[in-house]
Amino acid sequence: MLVAMHELVADIEALVRCESPSEDLAAVARSADAVAAVGTRLLDAEPERIVLDGWTHLRWRFGSAAPGDPAPRVLLLGHHDTVWPVGSLVTHPFGVHDGVLRGPGCFDMKAGVVMAFHAVAALPADERAGITILVTGDEEIGSPSSRALIESEARGCVAALVLEAAGPGGALKTERKGVSRYDVLVTGRAAHAGLEPERGVNATIEVAHQVHAVAALADPARGTTVTPTRLDAGTTINTVPAAAGFGVDVRVRDEAEQDRVHAALQELRPVLPGADVEVVGGPNRPPLTSTATRALFDRAATIAAGLGLDPLTALAVGGASDGNYTAGVGTPTLDGLGAVGGGAHADDEHVVVAELGRRTALLTALLTDLLR
């Protein structure tokens, strides 16, 4: 039976109206209160509130979670933080028009969090044993405080079901690239640019050499992107820059490429005499590969057909999620089970209301099947 649409929409509205940019810890804490209220009402159970390095995460566990318990356990994983700053509701108000729901963070991924609650609530209380719901508060900035928590919860589970938004047309995300992040820091020597520039070591020129060297590490044939991003250099227009630096975003399909790029970045050396180069950072998320998702996707596709839903499709994407972490510890993982829509992080962020009930029913049926 499909979930009542008006209830789903009302609960999504409650979360969207509580803004939660990742780096505003007070806003994330307020959002956690809103998420806890919706989850507690639907599940008749209060969550554990886990605060790590200031970020607030929520966990519901049903049934025994003791080591050695032979019963299957399934992890439902989502996040309640967004990329939208406080005040975004003024320019991007919540609303539903012509079957489309809009509002900051609705697609990525407050709708998915609500869907998880409704999917579990559709199960009789005695059939929820073995389910863990984990809703984190720092995913959009790489899960710095919650990674270990996610990995710990995922270990030993028969499946991790990630409620991130679906791909175009409702596609499930069966492959995600791994992510590495770096800062390349250059030290030179300052000098007056007019009186004696030859006494300086120009960090801007050195950083230009390093940008080209880093960009050359990309391998399009293997799907590896190595992108120099944010750049800083110098202090004043009449001073030879003594310092410069730039960020690097790396996306890879497999761990071998992640290791290759990491080793190459550690081997960067200065070109200019007297300059120094330091590289900080490393792998952030391992790749989510089809080997971790194939069996679960096939299972979900069979269930969708049995429910009379449109055939499921699969998609490989460059963006990462916390599903990369669950797959990285060996847990079968299926991502993109959340809302159908588009515009994540953009002005046109939206959710297709008609799909909310169908996708939630699919999730409930998949949970039932996995817990047997």
Convert the pLDDT of each residue in 37-49 to its tens digit: 999 999 999 999 9
Residues 56 and 127 in one domain: yes
> Could you tell me if 37 and 134 lie in one domain?
yes
CATH of the domain at 21: 3.40.630.10
Alpha-carbon distances, residue 135 vs 92, 113, 154, 238 (angstroms): 24, 7, 13, 51
Backbone angles phi, psi at 76, to 5 degrees: -100, 125
The last residue of one of the domains, among 285, 320, 340, is 285
266/154 same-domain check = no
Percent of the chain with pLDDT over 70: 98
Task: Please name the helix (run of DSSP H) or strand (run of DSSP E) that holds residue 238, with its range, or none.
Answer: none
Please give the average per-residue pLDDT across 79-86, as a whole number: 98
Neighbours of 337 (CB within 10 A): 29
**Tokens 């919540």, residue located:** 94
Where residue 220 falls (left for φ over 0; alpha for ψ -120 to 50; beta otherwise) is alpha
Answer whether residue 372 shows pLDDT above 90: no
Residue type, 333: T
Q: What total number of domains does the chain contain?
A: 2
- Strands across the sheet with 225-233, in order? 225-233, 243-252, 178-187, 276-285
- Does 348 lie in the same domain as 265? no
Q: In this model, does residue 67 exceed pLDDT 80? A: no
Report the predicted TM-score, pTM, of the whole model to 2 decimal places: 0.91
Per-residue pLDDT tens digits for 210-221 = 999 999 999 999
Q: What range does the domain containing 56 cover?
A: 5-177+287-370
Give the pLDDT confidence of 134-188 residue by residue, as tens digits. 999 999 999 999 999 999 999 999 999 999 999 999 999 999 999 999 999 999 9
- Is 342 found in the same domain as 221? no
241-261: pLDDT as tens digits: 999 999 999 999 999 999 999
Tokens 């916390």 belong to 322
Domain edge (last residue) among 285, 311, 327: 285
Q: Are residues 48 and 125 in the same domain?
A: yes
Out of 285, 301, 330, pick the residue that ends a domain. Answer: 285
Question: For the domain that residue 211 is a member of, what is the CATH number?
Answer: 3.30.70.360
Answer yes or no: do 13 and 92 share one domain. yes
* 126 and 67 in a common domain: yes
34 and 48, same structural domain?
yes
Q: Is 52 helix (H, G, I), strand (E, B) or coil?
A: strand
Phi/psi-derived region of residue 119, left when phi > 0, alpha when psi is between -120 and 50, beta in every other case:
alpha
Tell whether the model's pLDDT for residue 2 goes beyond 90.
Answer: no
Degrees, nearest 5: CA angle 280-283-287: 165
Give yes or no: residues 217 and 74 share one domain.
no
Same domain, 17 and 101: yes
- pLDDT, residue 334, reads 98
Residues 151 and 73 in one domain: yes
Contacts of 53 (CB under 8 A, 6+ apart): 144, 145
DSSP helix/strand/coil, 159 = strand
Determine the average pLDDT of the residues in 301-326. 96
